[in-house]
Structure 1
Amino acid sequence: MAARPLAIWVVSDGRTGIQNQALGLAEAVARLTPAQIEIKQVRWRPAFDRLPSAWKTLAMLAPGSFDPRSVAEWPDLWIATGRASLPLSARVRDWSGGRTFVVQTQDPRWRNDRYDLIVAPAHDGLAGANVLSISGSPHRITPQRLSGAAPAFASRIAPLPHPRVAVMVGGASAAFDLPPAHAADLAERIAQAVEAANGSLLLTYSRRTPAAAKAAMAERLSRLPGWIWDGTGDNPLFAMLDAADHILVTEDSANMATEAASTGKPVHILPMVAKKAPGKFTRLHADLQARGAARPFDGALTPWTYAPLDETDRAARAILAALKLR
């Protein structure tokens, strides 16, 4: 491997939030050693998508999906994320004759002994000889990526007054909801904080944010100096994080909280309406708070500092160390 770049395949169902975990980890490896990254997207025919991983066969793959049957040469490193990838990840070591080092992020909850390394969120409580626990999830945020995104949006962001408050809003999930009344209450609290500080707003929604919640928040927040991204054009999230003095994140997303904590900027956690006991999210936020990165939003934009979270790089170093042992 030392004589040529490391061949890395990033495998997921292609959804941005899922793919970015594996891609961010691959990019972190590539920052440490020469590497070539290829993205492979796995999709199953709708009739079979919800079947248990153990029941899926390659004949069930959707047209256009990555298909292992067409592989001529397997990579050095397979980094996969998400349920769709599991039926393949569990068999890669066999298909490659042991050549490929298989990394699965998140808790697979199925055949955990079939992966060389599982990079799992510490808040999931997974343990095992092949498990590396990290705070939150792997991601693509780096200081260089944030600063590199800034120029494309400078005309929109640079004139805005400080403190600039980036707000990352999630939405409906298995554990949380964002009904219009709660969204309106959050918007009022955010607006009061921004107005009291004579600052400005930089807001993005996720794909899970209900339309009614967006409308309720926009009714109050659109009066503030700033930018509420409407989803059209290039995504300004990285530029917003680069420009922000404070970051507010709804409590429903481990990805968003981890990304925010990697910036070294104050992270304020916004409450959602819980559908069930949010155990793992409570553990994650407690971890980030213990590291000095995050605090519950109390309506004040009080600045503080901490060492940025670098768990993606730590996981990348662990992968390379394991590869050298092989």
Structure 2
Amino acid sequence: MPLTGGHAAHHKVRMSSTASHAPAAPPSSWILTEPYAGLQSQALGLAEAAGLNPGVRTLQPRWPWTLVSAPRWPWPLRSVDSAALAGPMPDVIFGCGGMAGAVGAALRRPDRRIVHIQHPRMPLRRFDLVVVNRHDEIDGPNVIVTRTALHRATPARLAEAAEIWRPVFAPLARPLVAVLVGGTNGRFKLDAAVADGLAQSLVGMMRKDRVGVVLTPSRRTDPAAMRVLRETLEPLGAFVWNGEGDNPYFGMLALADMIISTIDSVSMVSEAVATTAPVMLAPLPGRSRRIGLFTRHLIAEGRVRPFEGRYEHWPVSPLDDTLAAAQEMRHRLDF
């Protein structure tokens, strides 16, 4: 069993006391996050895997609480724009990120369950469930621990994307390598100079191993870095998404024979290892203890390898704990 923590049999919470032989209606639900697609994607992945159709509410802090870390807010419900919390409250609230942790804990009631994703940086007892990656290094009776980040890269979604993007990528050489590019954050740097080094490694692979390349940036990718990658790779026949039109991301994951992801994003790596393709990690200047723990586990298990400028292929199996986490959550919250 990939999930750990919790002693679920002793911590089950009932959503309804009504006895019936008919299937109970799914609980109403919200997602609370800051306006970041990565946070929303994790919460949506968990909720959808549990069969829920949540409304997404985006939290915006009010001044002066923009200057204070959310776990330190004395009145969390007064510290955010009230529009995000308008309307009838749902049965279950999924939060992801520090602001959602503070607000979610304040909204908790006996008939309103709060599920927080990622370490909330506040006492875990203030939540009904906390779902974390093992690199967060926390556990407890209300904690579900996964090996990778939660996400929406389901087999069905990948299969649908494969049919859409197969004719688009058909002219490219095979094997096909998908390259997922992140960006500078508080731990790693990906500027134009670093992008040039990555681009030269990809060029060497294209020439030596005769592979096709499809590449997509993230929202954090520096435009100058992206310009270097495009100007270097497109003349050699690579497909480089320019951010316009439909996003090829899931199609790339579905159709790649190998995936390269920059090391800065746990979410990108987690989505990559949910596929049937081997995954390689492109290094960036910088360091993160948590990401280091995350990647070392995956390397030790043989699911990923460091990218050293060559195409590699080895037998792998998809690694995805999202559905298992959702099933465990439903078991514990009894819906």
Structure 1 pair 226–147 and aligned structure 2 pair: CA distance change class (3 A): farther
User: What is the aligned-residue identity percentage?
Assistant: 33
Please name the residue that 2:145 is paired with.
133
Please name the residue that 2:293 is paired with.
283
Structure 1 pair 46–260 and aligned structure 2 pair: CA distance change class (3 A): farther
Cα distance per residue 1:245-294 (max 9 Å; x no partner): 110000101001111001021100000011xx421111111111223210
Query: Which residue, 306, 319, 322 being the options, matches 2:332?
Result: 322
Secondary structure of 1:137's partner? coil
CA contact (8 A) 1:165 1:194 kept: no
Please name the residue that 2:102 is paired with.
87
* Higher alpha-carbon deviation: 1-10 or 294-303: 1-10
Q: CA deviation at 1:25?
A: 0.6
Aligned AA for 1:74? P
Query: Which residue, 37, 42, 45 being the options, matches 1:21?
Result: 42
CA contact (8 A) 1:170 1:206 kept: yes
Structure 1 unaligned blocks of 5 or more: none
Q: CA deviation at 1:47?
A: 4.0
Structure 1 pair 46–20 and aligned structure 2 pair: CA distance change class (3 A): farther
Higher relative CO (Cα under 8 Å, sequence separation at least 6) belongs to: 2
Query: Which residue, 234, 241, 250 being the options, matches 2:246?
Result: 234
Please name the residue that 2:69 is paired with.
52
CA contact (8 A) 1:261 1:288 kept: no
Normalised TM-score (structure 2): 0.87
Inter-partner Cα distance in structure 2 for 1:226 and 1:259: 22
Query: Which residue, 153, 167, 173 being the options, matches 2:179?
Result: 167
Aligned AA for 2:81? A
1:7 aligns with 2:22: no
Please name the residue that 2:190 is paired with.
178
Q: CA deviation at 1:121?
A: 1.4
Please name the residue that 1:66 is paired with.
84
CA RMSD of aligned residues (A): 1.9
Structure 1 pair 256–119 and aligned structure 2 pair: CA distance change class (3 A): same
Inter-partner Cα distance in structure 1 for 2:25 and 2:236: 53
Aligned AA for 2:317? A
CA contact (8 A) 2:31 2:94 kept: yes
Please name the residue that 1:217 is paired with.
229
CA contact (8 A) 1:191 1:221 kept: yes
Inter-partner Cα distance in structure 2 for 1:294 and 1:177: 21
Normalised TM-score (structure 1): 0.90
Inter-partner Cα distance in structure 1 for 2:251 and 2:300: 27
* Higher alpha-carbon deviation: 288-297 or 20-29: 288-297
Aligned AA for 1:16? A
Q: CA deviation at 1:179?
A: 2.8
Cα distance per residue 1:66-123 (max 9 Å; x no partner): 12xx443432x221101221222102223xxx11221101111113211111111111
Cα distance per residue 1:38-59 (max 9 Å; x no partner): 2222222354234232324433
Inter-partner Cα distance in structure 1 for 2:67 and 2:300: 38
Structure 1 pair 193–27 and aligned structure 2 pair: CA distance change class (3 A): same
Aligned AA for 2:79? M
Pairing of 1:116-131 with structure 2 (within 5 A): 116-131=128-143
Inter-partner Cα distance in structure 1 for 2:240 and 2:63: 35
Query: Which residue, 275, 285, 292 being the options, matches 1:263?
Result: 275
Q: CA deviation at 1:15?
A: 1.6
CA contact (8 A) 1:291 1:306 kept: no
Please name the residue that 1:113 is paired with.
125
Secondary structure of 1:176's partner? coil
Inter-partner Cα distance in structure 2 for 1:267 and 1:211: 25
Aligned length, in residue pairs: 312
Inter-partner Cα distance in structure 1 for 2:24 and 2:152: 27
Inter-partner Cα distance in structure 1 for 2:297 and 2:45: 21
CA contact (8 A) 1:241 1:247 kept: yes
Secondary structure of 1:222's partner? helix
